[in-house]
Amino acid sequence: MQISPDTPPFFTGDPVGWHGTTILCVRRAGAVAMAGDGQVSLGQTVVKGNARKVRRIGPGSTVLAGFAGATADAFTLLERLEAKLERFPNQLERACVELAKDWRTDRYLRRLEAMMAVADRDRSFTLTGNGDVLEPEDGIIAIGSGGNFALAAARALIEVPDLTAEQVARRAMKIAADICIYTNHNVIVETIA
């Protein structure tokens, strides 16, 4: 397959585009849970099965962050977001907007291939390299190759009255891992009550 000069930078030679993880954030009854699978894929090969793609960041570790995409790029973005959180403590939205501005305009950051989901006690956002800072209206975020599967499952499970945010996240991630070949069942969940 030949790649033309007009091909977007994230194109890997496979018609599906880039893939490799599932991150899910669920907000319910004053709690937020962020889950991520542990699979790292290189093409059609599983390189690692227990990667940690969900972390606590920021002063006091009060922010949950999950990433999908190139690992080194994601760590660069996590470091930048953490610096923004130190500059704007307790202002997650402002820190995200400032990072998105830098990500879109900085020559180095613009080339990074990743997406992030971030959440604190009050708000959740999806950040992209296009300058997007998106807040879901239903409190559920899903990114990565299995994101749509996890999102659909979480939206259905959120209707079950007795489930906590963490239970919804775990069950939805299991469904996504059963469907998406780039997502495994080794799930790490971080929560804020």
- The 124-127 sheet, strands edge to edge: 54-57, 63-69, 114-119, 124-127, 133-134
What's the pTM value of the predicted model, to 2 decimals? 0.86
Percent of the chain exceeding pLDDT 70 equals 88
For the stretch 28-39, pLDDT in tens is: 999 999 999 999
Q: Angle 22-176-163 (CA atoms, 0-180°, nearest 5)?
A: 100
Residue 70: pLDDT over 70: yes
Q: What is the DSSP letter of 71?
A: H
Domain residues of the chain, as ranges?
Answer: 22-192
Lowest mean pLDDT among 77-81, 151-155, 166-170, 186-190: 77-81
Tell me the pLDDT band of 1, cut-offs 50, 70 and 90: very low
Residue 11: pLDDT over 80: no
Fold of the 22-192 domain: Glutamine Phosphoribosylpyrophosphate, subunit 1, domain 1 (3.60.20)
User: Taking the CA atoms of the chain, what radius of gyration do you get in angstroms?
Assistant: 16
Long-range CB contact pairs, 178-181, < 8 A, 24+: 179/146, 179/149, 180/22, 180/145, 180/146, 180/149
* pLDDT given for residue 68 in this prediction: 87
d(CA 87, CA 99): 11
Residue 92 exposed, middle or buried by CB count within 10 Å (0-12, 13-18, 19+): buried
* pLDDT given for residue 19 in this prediction: 52
Give residues with Cβ within 8 angstroms of 100, minimum separation 6: 127, 128, 131, 132, 133
Tell me the pLDDT band of 87, cut-offs 50, 70 and 90: very high
* pLDDT given for residue 110 in this prediction: 66
Alpha helix stretches (DSSP H) within the chain: 71-87, 92-105, 147-157, 165-179
**Active-site residues: which are they?**
21
| Element housing 189 (H / E) | strand 187-192
